[in-house]
Chains A and B, each alone.
Chain A
């Protein structure tokens, strides 16, 4: 790795990138604090107005936002916990245990990443319709509870982070696999588990296609489903729509504010091949 000092040009370009990345978010807040009439004027507003509280209240009641936020926390939390747990199990097996067919199975795991979820959406819908799960949260939780990405991510981490001697030492002491898992693997995997949990939480929070199919706006929507139903009048109130978008995004932005560095580290870690 090299570390050349950055010139002034680099800072200018990076500042522009930062502005471009943040501007739509900031402008969402600006538009959410204005009125619909003001948004239908030129030039567009560049600073905050006084309408934020009102718009947030309308969005909250119109779009079922309270239920939606609670549902999304439940869904994203469960999916993140499940993914982290099952992925650590499988990642450990693929990284450190020798068993017949492990190479082939790992290739299969990676291969499943190439299959877009839309390919299975019709039978999945028929399935949950049969189980009367439409508009139930388990319909969006169960299909995403373990993913290939998580398994691969944990495997890549554990290959380097877990010394084989530790596993073998525990084995010589007569520890069973579950003991090894609990006392050796989980402690070693903790940093990666935290990162995977956050990444999965973000992905599950923002999941769109399947929730749109499986849930309805007036039943038990997630935030993303609720957002699609906002401001659907004859003249949609854009400032209310923006207030809803803001409500649905703020929780994740808070997560980013606190754990941003860890998430960045996790994405970069997952990228390097082991």
Chain B
């Protein structure tokens, strides 16, 4: 691909020339021009897509493969240039590492706790936004504002809201007669709190994606359903949801990828106490564990092994999703 872009460059550098030359001169000029025109047609598409692939090769593909190579070495952050070959030791260690399995479990639990309610709520919210509304533009922007809030800013305020002694959430709970919850140290409570941050930030975004898909559903479907005497809720269940299936699948994939790389929320939910994900690692995710191994414990090789384990898990999920979708398509 790079060769072709090199061929292309002389013809694209001076775009003003074909027009400036005007009517036909001698034959050689015309031959040269038509040849240049052909080259331009043939190779400029590659030149246009080249920047993306060059950047991807340099900052995406190469590092991804090199991660696999680094995972087979002992590398320390303090001296990243000296790599000692250790074979599969980083991986076998990971296999026996209770913190790795803990982080994997937490990632799955927090992933489910954040993704499932988030998408369900987003679907309902989109349904409401799809009505003819006064101030619909306001509502759409309002539910999207959490998306403009950074992970850091959002997590820092939620740490306070979920504070055990003086937090707003516990104050509200006690006001209606419940006991205070230790949102930081309770294993399940802390995971629920971390999930809440994710849900808060992303529900509005997903609702807008569903809303866009809902607006593309042909109105006749609703009319005929209404003629059959379907209530609004039944219409939602039997017309809207089936029409949205591809979009729902798409958001599930995106949210799952997001969930596997969850990092900032659990890091900062620890209130400045480091990358452990709580005193008992109760909300440490894989992304956070990778960071702890690499940039707190300085073991870049072991961090690479975690990265490849994450990659493997993602491939498994992708395979499962493909299977699931293939079966659904087949049954229709």
Question: Given B18, B52, B66, B144, which contacts A267 in the complex, CB threshold below 8 Å?
Answer: B144
Q: In the complex, which residues 114-161 of chain A have their Cβ closer than 8 Å to any Cβ of chain B?
A: 114-127, 129-130, 142-143, 145-146, 148, 151
Question: Given A1, A182, A205, which contacts B219 in the complex, CB threshold below 8 Å?
Answer: A1
A177 CA / B146 CA spacing, docked (Å):
41
> Of A49-57, A187-195, A244-252, which stretch is located at the interface?
A244-252
Residue pair A112, B60 in contact (C-beta under 8 Å):
yes
The answer, yes or no, to whether A69 is at the interface (CB within 8 Å) is: no
The answer, yes or no, to whether B6 is at the interface (CB within 8 Å) is: no
Residue pair B208, A271 in contact (C-beta under 8 Å):
yes
The answer, yes or no, to whether A186 is at the interface (CB within 8 Å) is: no
A236 CA / B147 CA spacing, docked (Å):
27
- Known contacts: A27-B168, A102-B45, A236-B272. The answer to whether A115 contacts B212 by CB under 8 A is no
Residue pair B158, A24 in contact (C-beta under 8 Å):
yes
Find chain A residues with CB under 8 A from B123 CB.
none
- Known contacts: A22-B142, A256-B141. The answer to whether A248 contacts B212 by CB under 8 A is no
Find chain B residues with CB under 8 A from A40 CB.
165-166
- Known contacts: A120-B59, A264-B137. The answer to whether A208 contacts B156 by CB under 8 A is no
The 8 A CB mask of A170-205 against B (1 = contact, 0 = none) is 000011111101100000000000000000001001
The answer, yes or no, to whether B307 is at the interface (CB within 8 Å) is: yes
- Known contacts: A126-B70, A182-B15. The answer to whether A231 contacts B148 by CB under 8 A is no
Residue pair A248, B209 in contact (C-beta under 8 Å):
no
Report the minimum CB–CB distance from A12 to chain B (whole Å): 10
The 8 A CB mask of B143-162 against A (1 = contact, 0 = none) is 11111111111101110110
Question: Given B131, B166, B215, B261, which contacts A39 in the complex, CB threshold below 8 Å?
Answer: B166
The answer, yes or no, to whether B88 is at the interface (CB within 8 Å) is: no
The answer, yes or no, to whether A263 is at the interface (CB within 8 Å) is: yes
Q: In the complex, which residues 61-117 of chain B have their Cβ closer than 8 Å to any Cβ of chain A?
A: 62-64, 66-67, 70, 75, 77, 80-81
Residue pair B18, A10 in contact (C-beta under 8 Å):
no
Find chain B residues with CB under 8 A from A252 CB.
148-150
Question: Given B12, B128, B287, which contacts A6 in the complex, CB threshold below 8 Å?
Answer: B128
The answer, yes or no, to whether A215 is at the interface (CB within 8 Å) is: no
Find chain A residues with CB under 8 A from B247 CB.
271
Report the minimum CB–CB distance from A191 to chain B (whole Å): 16
Report the minimum CB–CB distance from A75 to chain B (whole Å): 13
- Known contacts: A14-B139, A228-B268. The answer to whether A174 contacts B62 by CB under 8 A is no
- Known contacts: A41-B166, A118-B261. The answer to whether A126 contacts B300 by CB under 8 A is yes
Nearest A-chain residue to B55, judged by Cβ: A146
Residue pair A5, B131 in contact (C-beta under 8 Å):
yes
Residue pair B49, A24 in contact (C-beta under 8 Å):
no
Residue pair B307, A122 in contact (C-beta under 8 Å):
yes
Nearest B-chain residue to A94, judged by Cβ: B49
Q: In the complex, which residues 29-77 of chain A have their Cβ closer than 8 Å to any Cβ of chain B?
A: 31, 39-44
Question: Given B12, B148, B153, B295, which contacts A255 in the complex, CB threshold below 8 Å?
Answer: B148
Find chain B residues with CB under 8 A from A272 CB.
212-213, 216
Question: Given A43, A202, A246, A268, which contacts B147 in the complex, CB threshold below 8 Å?
Answer: A202
Residue pair A248, B152 in contact (C-beta under 8 Å):
yes
Residue pair B311, A14 in contact (C-beta under 8 Å):
no
Report the minimum CB–CB distance from A240 to chain B (whole Å): 11
- Known contacts: A6-B132, A27-B161, A202-B148. The answer to whether A127 contacts B49 by CB under 8 A is no
Known pairs A24-B154, A245-B156, A271-B212; list 12 more (Cβ under 8 Å): A4-B131, A24-B146, A25-B145, A108-B53, A120-B62, A121-B63, A122-B307, A146-B52, A148-B56, A206-B148, A208-B150, A208-B152
Which 9 pairs, one residue from A and one from B, show the smallest C-beta to C-beta distance? A120-B63, A260-B141, A6-B131, A177-B44, A268-B212, A123-B66, A99-B45, A93-B48, A206-B150
> Residues of B at under 8 Å CB distance from A?
11-12, 15, 18-19, 37, 40-42, 44-49, 51-53, 55-56, 59-60, 62-64, 66-67, 70, 75, 77, 80-81, 125, 128-134, 137, 139-154, 156-158, 160-161, 165-168, 171, 200, 204-205, 208-209, 211-219, 222-223, 232, 246-247, 253, 257, 260-261, 263-264, 267-268, 271-272, 287, 290-291, 294-295, 300, 303-304, 307-308, 310-311, 314, 318
Interface pairs (22), CB distance under 8 Å: A1-B217, A10-B128, A17-B204, A18-B139, A18-B143, A21-B204, A98-B45, A105-B49, A112-B56, A112-B60, A116-B260, A122-B63, A129-B80, A142-B55, A176-B18, A176-B44, A205-B150, A227-B150, A227-B152, A236-B271, A249-B149, A260-B141
